[in-house]
Structures are given as C-alpha cells and as structure tokens.
C-alpha cells in the first residue's frame, strides 16, 4: 500500500513539472514576440521621421522658389510694355 502511494506522488509531481514547463515556454514565446513588435515600432518611427524631414525640406525649397517667381511675375506685370513690344 505504501508503494502505491509513493508512485502516485511521483506521477503527480511529474505532471506538475510538465505543466510548469509549458507555462514558462508560453511566457517566453509571448515576451519574445512583444520584443519583436517593439523593435518594429522603433524602426518604423525612425523611417517615418526621416521621410517627414525630407518632405519638410522639399516644401521649404518649393516655398522659396514660389516667392521668387511671385516677385519676378510682379515685376513683369508692373512693366507690361516690355512684354507688349
């Protein structure tokens, strides 16, 4: 009778250990994927900032060129006789 009780205890311990291992594996898997997600977000942020900066620069240059053209067109319209001739 004592032998039967000992065997049962061992089986129970084994089952418990297996369950704990599975839980730990699940946790590590979840944490790894979360870290990958974090890395993706960081990279996406950097890329997006770079694109925005480039776009901002282009807009500034375009604005300056437009101002210059406005001035030139204004001068031309102020002296229509030149274009009329």
Partner 1 sequence: MELEHPTATPLNSAMTYDEASMERSKSFVNALQELKNLRPQLYSAAEYCEKSYLHSEQKQMVLDNLKDYAVRALVNAVDHLGTVAYKLTDLLEQQTFDVSTMDLKVATINQKLLTCQIYTDKEGLRQQQLLAFIPRHHKHYILPNSVNKKVHFSPQIQIDARQNPFQTRTRFQSSGTPAAKTLSWHLASETKSTLKGSSHASPSPNTENPKFSAKASGVFHLLDNEENTWMKSSPAQIYFPNGVPTSSTPMHTLGGTGKDALEGSKPLTAFRSFDYQNRRETVQVPTRSKSVLSAFFVKQKTPKLKAGSFL
User: CB pairs under 8 A, 24+ apart, for 74-77?
Assistant: none
Residues 15-74 that bind partner 1 (CB under 8 A): 23, 26, 30, 33-34, 37, 40-41, 44, 48, 51-52, 54-55, 58-59, 61-62, 65-66, 69, 72-73
Residue at token pair 């101002």: 67
3-state helix, strand, coil in the chain (%, to 5): 95, 0, 5
Q: How far apart are CA 56 and CA 47, in angstroms?
A: 14
CB of 51 to partner 1, least distance (A): 5
Enumerate binding residues for partner 1 (CB under 8 A): 23, 26, 30, 33-34, 37, 40-41, 44, 48, 51-52, 54-55, 58-59, 61-62, 65-66, 69, 72-73, 76, 82-83, 85
């Amino acid at each position: 009778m004592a032998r039967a009780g000992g065997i049962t205890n061992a089986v129970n311990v084994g089952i418990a250990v297996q369950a704990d291992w599975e839980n730990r594996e699940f946790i590590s898997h979840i944490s790894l994927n979360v870290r990958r997600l974090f890395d993706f977000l960081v990279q996406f942020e950097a890329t997006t900032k770079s694109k925005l900066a480039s776009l901002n620069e282009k807009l500034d240059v375009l604005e300056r060129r437009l101002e210059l053209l406005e001035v030139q067109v204004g001068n031309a319209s102020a002296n229509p006789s030149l274009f009329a001739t």
